[in-house]
Amino acid sequence: MMKCPNCSSKDIGKIGSHQFYCWGCFIELTVNGEKMSVYQVEEDGTLSSLDDLFFGEEMVQDFPHIHASS
């Protein structure tokens, strides 16, 4: 069972072959293999990526040499 990375809700609906929608916090999730992308649905229906908010810290852990000098 998939869980929302934002609100931890399990109330996830499938809207496409690799696309899901969280009814708890109204974000869209795209899953390709092990890679997940998170989007906010705007008023006009366009999607804005939220990946920087959700996966930024994980990327720092994966690539510690990038921030080693700071």
Does 63 score more than 70 pLDDT? no
Residue 4 lies in a domain: no
Whether this prediction's pTM lies above 0.95 is answered by no
Residue 26 lies in a domain: yes
Q: How many structural domains is the chain composed of? A: 1
Structure-token pair, residue 38: 């998170």
Mean pLDDT for 14-31 is 94
Host domain of residue 26: 12-55
Mean pLDDT for 36-51 is 93
**What mean pLDDT is reported for the chain?**
82
Residue 34 lies in a domain: yes
E strand intervals along 1-70 = 12-14, 19-22, 27-32, 35-41, 47-49
Does 32 score more than 90 pLDDT? no
Residue 16 lies in a domain: yes
Does 10 score more than 90 pLDDT? yes
